[in-house]
Amino acid sequence: MNEPHYRALESMYLAAPINAFYRPTIRVEERRADIEIEVGEQLCHAAGAVHGSVYFKMLDDAAFFAAGSIETEVFVLTTSFTTYLTRPISSGIMRSVGTVAHTNRSQILAEAVVYDGKGREIGRGNGLFVRSKMRLKDTPGYVATPEGAE
Protein backbone atom coordinates (compact mmCIF):
# COMPACT_ATOMS: atom_id res chain seq x y z
CA MET A 1 0.00 0.00 0.00
CA ASN A 2 1.20 3.49 -0.79
CA GLU A 3 -1.09 5.93 1.03
CA PRO A 4 0.90 9.11 0.17
CA HIS A 5 0.71 8.23 -3.54
CA TYR A 6 -3.05 7.55 -3.33
CA ARG A 7 -3.72 10.85 -1.53
CA ALA A 8 -1.54 12.71 -4.06
CA LEU A 9 -3.55 11.18 -6.92
CA GLU A 10 -6.76 12.34 -5.23
CA SER A 11 -5.31 15.84 -4.89
CA MET A 12 -4.28 15.84 -8.55
CA TYR A 13 -7.77 14.76 -9.65
CA LEU A 14 -9.56 17.38 -7.59
CA ALA A 15 -7.16 20.09 -8.83
CA ALA A 16 -8.07 19.46 -12.49
CA PRO A 17 -9.98 22.51 -13.77
CA ILE A 18 -12.79 20.41 -15.28
CA ASN A 19 -13.66 19.07 -11.83
CA ALA A 20 -14.67 22.53 -10.65
CA PHE A 21 -17.76 21.90 -12.81
CA TYR A 22 -18.46 18.28 -11.81
CA ARG A 23 -17.50 18.67 -8.12
CA PRO A 24 -16.64 14.98 -7.62
CA THR A 25 -15.31 13.10 -4.64
CA ILE A 26 -12.62 10.46 -5.09
CA ARG A 27 -10.99 7.71 -3.06
CA VAL A 28 -7.95 5.85 -4.44
CA GLU A 29 -6.71 2.56 -3.06
CA GLU A 30 -4.38 -0.10 -4.41
CA ARG A 31 -5.68 -1.10 -7.87
CA ARG A 32 -9.01 0.66 -7.23
CA ALA A 33 -10.65 4.09 -7.40
CA ASP A 34 -14.17 5.23 -6.38
CA ILE A 35 -15.63 8.47 -7.71
CA GLU A 36 -18.99 10.13 -7.00
CA ILE A 37 -20.84 13.09 -8.43
CA GLU A 38 -24.28 14.48 -7.85
CA VAL A 39 -26.43 14.60 -10.98
CA GLY A 40 -28.20 17.83 -11.84
CA GLU A 41 -30.01 19.08 -14.91
CA GLN A 42 -26.80 20.77 -16.11
CA LEU A 43 -25.52 17.23 -16.93
CA CYS A 44 -28.62 16.20 -18.92
CA HIS A 45 -29.37 16.19 -22.63
CA ALA A 46 -32.61 17.54 -24.15
CA ALA A 47 -34.59 14.40 -23.23
CA GLY A 48 -33.77 14.90 -19.55
CA ALA A 49 -31.28 12.07 -18.90
CA VAL A 50 -27.57 12.37 -18.14
CA HIS A 51 -25.50 12.87 -21.29
CA GLY A 52 -23.27 9.95 -22.34
CA SER A 53 -20.17 12.11 -21.98
CA VAL A 54 -20.74 12.14 -18.20
CA TYR A 55 -20.87 8.33 -18.14
CA PHE A 56 -17.61 8.26 -20.10
CA LYS A 57 -15.93 10.72 -17.73
CA MET A 58 -17.00 8.77 -14.65
CA LEU A 59 -15.89 5.43 -16.10
CA ASP A 60 -12.62 6.66 -17.61
CA ASP A 61 -11.67 8.60 -14.47
CA ALA A 62 -12.27 5.62 -12.15
CA ALA A 63 -10.36 3.21 -14.40
CA PHE A 64 -7.59 5.79 -14.94
CA PHE A 65 -7.01 6.32 -11.22
CA ALA A 66 -7.15 2.58 -10.51
CA ALA A 67 -4.41 2.20 -13.14
CA GLY A 68 -2.54 5.19 -11.73
CA SER A 69 -2.57 3.66 -8.27
CA ILE A 70 0.04 1.10 -9.36
CA GLU A 71 2.28 3.57 -11.21
CA THR A 72 4.20 5.78 -8.79
CA GLU A 73 6.72 7.49 -11.08
CA VAL A 74 4.96 8.75 -14.22
CA PHE A 75 1.54 9.94 -15.36
CA VAL A 76 -0.53 7.30 -17.16
CA LEU A 77 -2.46 8.01 -20.35
CA THR A 78 -5.69 6.51 -21.67
CA THR A 79 -4.97 4.99 -25.10
CA SER A 80 -8.42 3.49 -25.69
CA PHE A 81 -11.65 3.22 -23.75
CA THR A 82 -14.90 1.39 -24.52
CA THR A 83 -18.09 2.57 -22.84
CA TYR A 84 -21.42 0.82 -22.45
CA LEU A 85 -24.47 2.76 -21.24
CA THR A 86 -26.91 0.29 -19.66
CA ARG A 87 -29.50 2.44 -17.86
CA PRO A 88 -30.46 6.12 -17.97
CA ILE A 89 -30.33 8.37 -14.93
CA SER A 90 -31.61 11.91 -14.50
CA SER A 91 -31.03 12.71 -10.82
CA GLY A 92 -29.27 11.48 -7.71
CA ILE A 93 -25.74 10.18 -7.34
CA MET A 94 -23.49 8.53 -9.89
CA ARG A 95 -20.75 6.37 -8.35
CA SER A 96 -18.05 4.76 -10.49
CA VAL A 97 -15.71 2.04 -9.28
CA GLY A 98 -12.55 1.33 -11.26
CA THR A 99 -10.29 -1.67 -10.84
CA VAL A 100 -7.12 -2.94 -12.48
CA ALA A 101 -7.85 -6.13 -14.43
CA HIS A 102 -4.43 -6.92 -15.94
CA THR A 103 -0.96 -5.46 -16.34
CA ASN A 104 2.07 -6.20 -18.46
CA ARG A 105 5.31 -4.36 -19.13
CA SER A 106 3.77 -1.74 -21.39
CA GLN A 107 0.04 -1.55 -20.62
CA ILE A 108 -2.48 -1.54 -17.81
CA LEU A 109 -5.99 -2.85 -18.51
CA ALA A 110 -8.54 -1.35 -16.14
CA GLU A 111 -12.32 -1.55 -16.02
CA ALA A 112 -15.04 0.43 -14.31
CA VAL A 113 -18.72 0.18 -13.47
CA VAL A 114 -20.94 3.18 -12.73
CA TYR A 115 -23.93 2.87 -10.40
CA ASP A 116 -26.93 5.02 -9.55
CA GLY A 117 -27.81 6.03 -5.99
CA LYS A 118 -29.72 2.77 -5.49
CA GLY A 119 -26.67 0.67 -6.39
CA ARG A 120 -27.97 -0.35 -9.81
CA GLU A 121 -25.46 -0.61 -12.63
CA ILE A 122 -26.03 2.13 -15.19
CA GLY A 123 -22.87 1.76 -17.29
CA ARG A 124 -19.55 0.02 -17.64
CA GLY A 125 -16.35 0.33 -19.58
CA ASN A 126 -12.75 -0.76 -19.92
CA GLY A 127 -9.62 0.82 -21.19
CA LEU A 128 -5.94 0.48 -21.91
CA PHE A 129 -3.53 2.79 -20.15
CA VAL A 130 0.17 3.36 -20.82
CA ARG A 131 2.95 5.07 -18.94
CA SER A 132 3.87 8.53 -20.25
CA LYS A 133 7.18 10.36 -19.95
CA MET A 134 5.71 13.03 -17.64
CA ARG A 135 6.85 12.53 -14.07
CA LEU A 136 4.06 12.55 -11.50
CA LYS A 137 5.99 14.93 -9.27
CA ASP A 138 5.85 17.46 -12.13
CA THR A 139 2.09 17.07 -12.62
CA PRO A 140 -0.03 19.98 -11.32
CA GLY A 141 -1.92 19.04 -8.18
CA TYR A 142 0.13 15.91 -7.41
CA VAL A 143 1.38 16.60 -3.90
CA ALA A 144 2.91 13.57 -2.21
CA THR A 145 3.67 13.68 1.48
CA PRO A 146 5.96 11.15 3.15
CA GLU A 147 4.32 8.17 4.90
CA GLY A 148 3.25 9.25 8.37
CA ALA A 149 3.53 13.01 7.66
CA GLU A 150 0.38 15.11 7.85
Asked if residues 61 and 13 have their Cβ atoms less than 8 Å apart, the reply is yes
Among 14, 25, 113, residue whose Cα is nearest residue 63: 113
Q: How far is CA 79 from the centre of its chain?
A: 15
Determine the pLDDT at residue 1: 77
Q: Domain boundaries in the chain?
A: 3-137
What residues are paired with 128 via a beta bridge?
A: 80, 109
Q: Which residues contact 20 (CB under 8 A, 6 or more apart)?
A: none
pLDDT tens profile 119-148: 999 999 999 999 999 999 999 999 877 655
Rounded to two decimals, the pTM is 0.94
The 10 Å Cβ neighbour count of residue 130 is 15
Distance (Å, rounded) from C-alpha 113 to C-alpha 75?
A: 23
* CATH code given to domain 3-137: 3.10.129.10
pLDDT in tens, 32-59: 999 999 999 999 999 999 999 999 999 9
